[in-house]
Structure 1
Amino acid sequence: MKTTCSIVLIGIAGYGEKYLEALQDQGRLSWVKGVVDIRPEQSSYFKTIMEKDIPVYSSLEDFYRAETADLAIISTPIHLHAQQAVIAMENGSHVLCEKPMAGSLEEAEQMRQVRDRTKRFLAVGFNWSFSRSVQKLKKDVQEGLFGQPICARTLVLWPRGEAYYQRSSWAGKLRGPNGEPIFDSIANNAASHFLHHLFYVLGEKEEQSAKIQSLNVELYCANSIETFDTCAVMARTEADVELLYLASHAINQESGPEFELEFEKAIIRYSNGGNIKAAWEDGKEKSYGDPEFEHMHKLEVCIQAVLDGSRNIPCGIEASFSHLIAIKSIHEAVPEVPAFPLEYVKKSIEPKITYVPGLSETLRKCYKEKKMPSEIDPPWAQPGKNINISADTYPY
């Protein structure tokens, strides 16, 4: 069994700093054989990297010309994930790629083929799916402890303002400068974990998510972006389970994530800051802990998979396909995102946030009543668009 795991970290500003922080706390910065970033000085860890004599490269190709790594951690813009993951695997590295896995199904399929050919693993960094609390919950779901699933829902109200949308050139964009698919949105970035979670926890196997049969989609936008900052998605799985995802950045008070999973025999609930709890009709309860406490457990899982050679990755390409298919289908259902009418939009000065008064209350009512906004009928709501998903969309 190996005792060390050599690492290359691609992207060291933004979320990449979370990985550097974790590696430093674990006493594993010496395992980092190089970092890749075109503007490394923008990272708050740049001074530490210099002090530790960790080589800095402007491209992943340059790194592999000089070094090798057991594990490549990709924390770069969405439209770079597939290309960098392929380069890493072709050069012998296992991969931990930040969510979402890629910008398109075609890129994801290329990643899957290269993974299978090179015999490397590719993990996708949906945090909760690596947590022990969600793994225990999913195991109980699979073993039928709660009976058959009936429906599930989640609500995420996270304010994001001017600074968030101006942090990069690709924030809120549909495509990159050369037409690369990005589709950056609340459902494909900040709150993507919780859309994926609905699919993942109902997957038949540890490494799979529930497959989607159809979607009903409502998208809205208050900010000046190409995608959307508010959405309501009603999905139906192949097992005929109804899933409701409600999320918005266009609000001025934070709430969530929270979710509820309804089964024949029990209801599982979670609210941010608490534990996942299952409650049966007879009064029995079971607590699974808080998945947020294991935010970076994905890193430990991947390092251990390298050290022991197990390749036991709970959330990889197959588990992430339903989220990617959902994003593709959401944009196909509503290719032109309607803006909230100006009379319903406000702007706060500090912090600079564009928001819709009353939107939080509307989405919370939707969550409580298991309805779409157009069914609640606020004055800005538009009827949802339906889209069916062929089973052939899934490559496995």
Structure 2
Amino acid sequence: MSAPTPLLLVGIHGHGRHHLRALHRLTGTGRVRLAGVCDPTPPAPGDDLEGHGLLPHFAGLEEALEATGARVTVIATPIHTHLPLARTALDHGSHILLEKPTTATLAEFDQLNAAAEAAGPSCQIGFQSLGSHALAAVRALVDSGTVGRVLGIGGAGTWKRTSHYYDRAPWAGQRRLNGHDVVDGALTNPFAHAVATALDLSRAAEEPVHDVELELFHAHPIQSDDTSCLRVRTPDGTPVTVAVTLCAPETTPPRLTVHGEHGRIDLDYTLDRVTVHRDGRPPRTTEHGRTPLLDNLLDHIEHGTPLLVPPTRTRAFMHVLEAVRTAPDPVAVPATRQRVRETPEGTHRVITGITDLVHRSARHLALFSELDPAWSPTALESHP
């Protein structure tokens, strides 16, 4: 057996905890060795790092890479730190799994691509949904003409996030922080998978996206959007829409729908579940597996297996992020359109009627303002 691959985790708080838990499977089989962790904030006294126990901790990435000799670096840090940390790891010869979104700007995305090409080590982007085998199943259904000609793809996401979600870190819910672009909005971070997966299903994931239509709103007292919709068109003119909110009464699984002339295909991308609805026939549901992106990166390093999510597969998503970054500030949802209550998890803000509006957007491939003129950003600003 070959020696375990030394791995360094950068970012041990927030989403880094997910990576710590997930690493048990690979450390348990001896495929990787968690050589250390890196974070400016050290583990709290008594923190066993999700069962990994006492590990070398480093405040700086260069020191960590030199001390551990990490062949793989997992970067789970704030969005605006992605590019400099990725460059450092690549320059030290370490392959990287970089959490989504890829970078904070389109210019940084181009710089990351150039750095990855120049350095040699591989870069995988952490859009886990793009490792789902359900995507190939949906494409096969489309290619076989199961629902006829594709009319469009609609996405809907309704989640509940309280004020604690935004209190967890200084960058949460920010467009900019200390002079740096962050772009931590609903479309670009929590529902980034919905956007990237919808674009991937449209087969335009690696293409530049132009003429992005956006409607951005916020109910929470934040800079960024917590409720939004977008529409883009693929090179052949097919519309792709995504409507989302973090101000729903409850959290439900997000869904992408491929609308066809003779039915539709629903993809519950967090569940890897595909349901086909055809005229005059009962729905048919199948469940699919998923390839973990770290496993795929290791296979790529060891056996030359193609990467599932190289940076180029996120190009269209990054064009959407850039449109969000450069768009006017999100419009505040008036208090008269909210229900607010205090919970043990923080302030819970529910926008009246938002769940129905989000699903109507996905069903009709329409922006909020096209479904209800009262949701025009201008109308909201003028008539609260």
TM-score bin (small chain): 0.7 to 0.9
The answer to whether the Cα contact below 8 Å between 2:153 and 2:202 also exists between their aligned partners in 1 is: no
Which residue matches 2:49?
46
Cα gap change, 1:44/1:234 in structure 2, threshold over 3 Å: closer, same or farther? farther
Question: In the alignment, which of 353, 365, 368 is matched to residue 370 of structure 1?
Answer: 365
TM-aligned CA deviation for residue 131 of structure 1: 1.8
1:82-132 Cα deviation digits (max 9, x unpaired): 111111111111111000000011211111111111222111111110122
Question: In the alignment, which of 287, 310, 315 is matched to residue 289 of structure 1?
Answer: 287
CA–CA separation in structure 1 for the residues paired with 2:135 and 2:86: 26
Aligned pairs for 1:195-206 (under 5 A) are 195-203=195-203
The answer to whether the Cα contact below 8 Å between 2:158 and 2:250 also exists between their aligned partners in 1 is: yes
CA–CA separation in structure 2 for the residues paired with 1:139 and 1:95: 31
CA–CA separation in structure 2 for the residues paired with 1:121 and 1:139: 29
The answer to whether the Cα contact below 8 Å between 2:8 and 2:34 also exists between their aligned partners in 1 is: yes
Which residue matches 2:313?
319
Which residue matches 1:92?
93
Residue 338 of structure 2 is aligned to residue 342 of structure 1? no
CA–CA separation in structure 1 for the residues paired with 2:284 and 2:104: 38
CA–CA separation in structure 2 for the residues paired with 1:139 and 1:305: 25
Identical-pair percentage: 21
Please, which runs of 5 or more residues in structure 2 have no aligned partner? 380-384
Could you say what secondary structure the match of 2:77 adopts?
coil
Say what the alpha-carbon RMSD is for the aligned residues: 2.7
Residue 246 of structure 2 is aligned to residue 249 of structure 1? yes
CA–CA separation in structure 1 for the residues paired with 2:29 and 2:11: 18
Which residue matches 1:11?
11
Aligned residues: 373
TM-aligned CA deviation for residue 348 of structure 1: 1.3
CA–CA separation in structure 2 for the residues paired with 1:136 and 1:64: 40
Cα gap change, 1:71/1:274 in structure 2, threshold over 3 Å: closer, same or farther? closer
CA–CA separation in structure 2 for the residues paired with 1:22 and 1:55: 19
CA–CA separation in structure 2 for the residues paired with 1:117 and 1:108: 14
The answer to whether the Cα contact below 8 Å between 1:71 and 1:306 also exists between their aligned partners in 2 is: no
Cα gap change, 1:132/1:364 in structure 2, threshold over 3 Å: closer, same or farther? closer
1:287-317 Cα deviation digits (max 9, x unpaired): 55256xx4x711221122222233x112121
1:144-165 Cα deviation digits (max 9, x unpaired): 7766532000100011111000
* Structure 1 stretch displaced more, 163-172 or 180-189: 180-189
TM-aligned CA deviation for residue 355 of structure 1: 2.1
Aligned pairs for 1:93-108 (under 5 A) are 93-108=94-109
* Structure 1 stretch displaced more, 358-367 or 12-21: 358-367
TM-aligned CA deviation for residue 368 of structure 1: 2.8
Residue identity opposite 1:307 in structure 2: E
CA–CA separation in structure 2 for the residues paired with 1:138 and 1:318: 20
Could you say what secondary structure the match of 1:218 adopts?
strand
Aligned pairs for 1:1-396 (under 5 A) are 4-26=4-26, 27=28, 31-42=33-44, 45-46=48-49, 48-51=51-54, 54-138=55-139, 149-177=150-178, 179-203=179-203, 208-209=205-206, 211-263=208-260, 267-271=264-268, 275-279=273-277, 288-290=286-288, 294=290, 297-310=292-305, 312-332=306-326, 334-350=327-343, 351=345, 352-377=347-372, 379-382=374-377
TM-aligned CA deviation for residue 284 of structure 1: 9.6
TM-aligned CA deviation for residue 185 of structure 1: 0.7
TM-score, normalization by structure 2:
0.88
TM-aligned CA deviation for residue 73 of structure 1: 0.5
Please, which runs of 5 or more residues in structure 1 have no aligned partner? 385-396
The answer to whether the Cα contact below 8 Å between 2:147 and 2:260 also exists between their aligned partners in 1 is: yes
CA–CA separation in structure 2 for the residues paired with 1:345 and 1:50: 45
TM-score, normalization by structure 1:
0.85
CA–CA separation in structure 1 for the residues paired with 2:360 and 2:137: 30
Cα gap change, 1:44/1:346 in structure 2, threshold over 3 Å: closer, same or farther? farther
The answer to whether the Cα contact below 8 Å between 1:211 and 1:237 also exists between their aligned partners in 2 is: no
